[in-house]
Structure 1
């Protein structure tokens, strides 16, 4: 019970406008004691107090509810307003004015928005006052309603914050689980891939070769999905995409990615123009992952009967890698969401991936200090990655944790 009453005091104390409300009511009425009280069937507790009478009540102080007029307000759900006790037929012989020594008094009920009774906005003074004036009475009712609405707004805010905190904790646990699961899946996937290589070498049966190849392709695709999930959860958990920077000849690496995608999509055509002797200070494995994700996106979402075009070259002191596919022009609203996690085109089923591919592309580009741009005009959609050939020794590698998730 005490804990519940303390909570009600804290609710009123948390409303920043309450002190100003009490001061305004005191100035408007001339009363030297004004407070907000929480009233139940068996308790009266001061929640906020303005006391210029040395009445002796502070927030948290309690009175016997049977000695107060707030009990009447609670039972009737109507305000009690007294200009002068001695001139009031109803209250001149009442025990409450004698106990507390007041002449003027008001008590306005405070209801929550669901209709439940909270308590009162009340005030008193040993001297008479004109409280029943229509403007004064209406203003006091307005302040009581303001307190009521603020009570519910603050309660909803606290509940929303608690729910958000719970959701955030759940999300963090989920991401940790996914990260661990993704890490643990890499070992069996590696075994499957190794097994397909062994089967292809030791059992070159033409009848089983297509089955082995399907297993290999499925395992490669699963491994790519796991890599995307691990990168995403690593970024969400704060460590960001990691780079192993070195001077590398990346032309052969890019050509290998193109060859692998041709094997995974044998019915599609990829036209690649990769400049010879390309050298770049970068993480070549991450650049290969970037190209692989861009190619998968182009092959899945581009026109099925037109080639996907890849080009990679140095333009002055800038490395430029582009992947273009034919297809309907993308509206700006779609382009704006391409690099967000779990994005998928509405025109395609969700069977091709988790929607993390382009998000990972963007994070790899940022981690290198480069950029990724999209254009979609004239029936062609192109993704262009740009990176300064003279890369700083320590480019930012923690941008993933600051991405718009």
Structure 2
């Protein structure tokens, strides 16, 4: 591969936000393959990829540009969006879908800050998927614009690496942009969720109900991703996790609600809980629920599927202790030391959903409360324990 093409791959790989962009696009659209490609007159090169279809492309791999629809995007500077190739008058007989075996597809042009064409944000799937919805199209263009801004930010950061203050300003602007994007996504997400709720009430055909429920689950998943990004951005920009601290005398009900919701999402799993009544804390109940939800989701994903996940809460000796444990392979000390870093995943986690922010946010919530998170892993059991000191006793 030419040195110039390698540089383009490195440019995209250097952008820390790219993995979460690809994850969010895949969650939003339902496509199994999403990538960022550099496209020239005679080359198509993968720069970053999320591949759940075993398509086989890795960063640095090339395709014959004449076999791709990205060539059309390059020549026209316009997006290509296909819901169903077989029903498209323009693309039903096109050679590209036949070569790569897809039915749904999008390709959004990505430009540099000076207007030069870089390549595309594109995705595909062998099944038809509705991609031409205005909200989806608008959001995909926002992500393409974000990649463009990230390219510009990274290039400027590299050119001014010796100027620490300039680097700090660039990083802050980047996080601000992500925060604005996450905020703006909440409105269309709310519309999607509301529309799905209305459809669930109106749809008479039982065969369509699973489709409606899938839309609702996807909207909830997207909302969760946006919330994680917003929490992460606040932490990176120095404001930290926001708390609404108050005296809460129904902590047990808050925790039990989270557990019930997770049981509903994972009916095949056993979740054993020991939570006494009358737990009372000075805390942010919503954040405490988020902390437990993230810990429980982590245990369900990474614990042995055939064994229970245990939750234990207690208040004694001036401390509140909440522990979530699962059975599975022991974690090495060096892995435990990395668990609470943003976007970090062990090799065993490569297939898991999410952005790699769940445990980072758990740690930030614990710190914001003045507590701490400890991890132990031995004898086939891993436990995450949240401890909050100086807890006032419950008055009787």
Q: TM-score range by the shorter chain?
A: 0.5 to 0.7
Deviations 1:111-156 (A, max 9, x none): xxxxxxxxxxxxxxxxxxxxxxxxxxxxxxxxxxxxxxxxxxxxxx
Question: Is 1:260 the equivalent of 2:264?
Answer: no
Question: Is 1:185 the equivalent of 2:174?
Answer: no
Equivalent runs, 1:273-288 vs 2, <5 Å:
273-288=274-289
Deviations 1:4-50 (A, max 9, x none): xxxxxxxxxxxxxxxxxxxxxxxxxxxxxxxxxxxxxxxxxxxxxxx
Question: Is 1:377 the equivalent of 2:378?
Answer: yes
- Which residue in 1 is equivalent to 2:293? 292
- Aligned length, in residue pairs: 233
- Which residue in 2 is equivalent to 1:271? 272
- Which residue in 1 is equivalent to 2:208? 208
TM norm structure 2: 0.55
User: Which range moved further: 361-370 or 258-267?
Assistant: 258-267
- Which residue in 2 is equivalent to 1:107? none
TM norm structure 1: 0.54
Question: Is 1:356 the equivalent of 2:357?
Answer: yes
CA distance in 2, matches of 1:368, 1:298: 22
Secondary structure in structure 2 of the residue aligned to 1:352? coil
In structure 1, the gaps of 5 or more residues are 1-157, 392-405
CA distance in 2, matches of 1:260, 1:352: 18
- For the Cα contact (< 8 Å) 2:331–2:382, is it kept in 1? yes
CA distance in 2, matches of 1:335, 1:245: 29
1:277–1:172: structure 2 CA closer, same or farther, 3 Å change rule? same
- Which residue in 2 is equivalent to 1:175? 175
Deviations 1:65-117 (A, max 9, x none): xxxxxxxxxxxxxxxxxxxxxxxxxxxxxxxxxxxxxxxxxxxxxxxxxxxxx
Largest Rg, 1 or 2? 1
CA distance in 1, matches of 2:196, 2:252: 28
1:197–1:176: structure 2 CA closer, same or farther, 3 Å change rule? same
Secondary structure in structure 1 of the residue aligned to 2:162? helix
CA distance in 2, matches of 1:323, 1:361: 12
Secondary structure in structure 2 of the residue aligned to 1:241? coil
Secondary structure in structure 1 of the residue aligned to 2:348? coil
CA distance in 1, matches of 2:220, 2:260: 14
CA distance in 2, matches of 1:165, 1:231: 24
Deviation at 1:199, TM superposition (A): 2.4
Deviation at 1:268, TM superposition (A): 2.3
- For the Cα contact (< 8 Å) 1:344–1:350, is it kept in 2? no
In structure 2, the gaps of 5 or more residues are 1-158
Deviation at 1:165, TM superposition (A): 4.6
- Which residue in 2 is equivalent to 1:194? 194
Secondary structure in structure 1 of the residue aligned to 2:168? helix
- Which residue in 2 is equivalent to 1:320? 321
Deviation at 1:241, TM superposition (A): 1.2
1:277–1:204: structure 2 CA closer, same or farther, 3 Å change rule? farther
CA distance in 2, matches of 1:253, 1:186: 24
Equivalent runs, 1:15-54 vs 2, <5 Å:
none
Instruction: Give the alignment's Cα RMSD to 1 decimal.
Output: 2.0
CA distance in 2, matches of 1:195, 1:250: 33
CA distance in 1, matches of 2:209, 2:279: 36
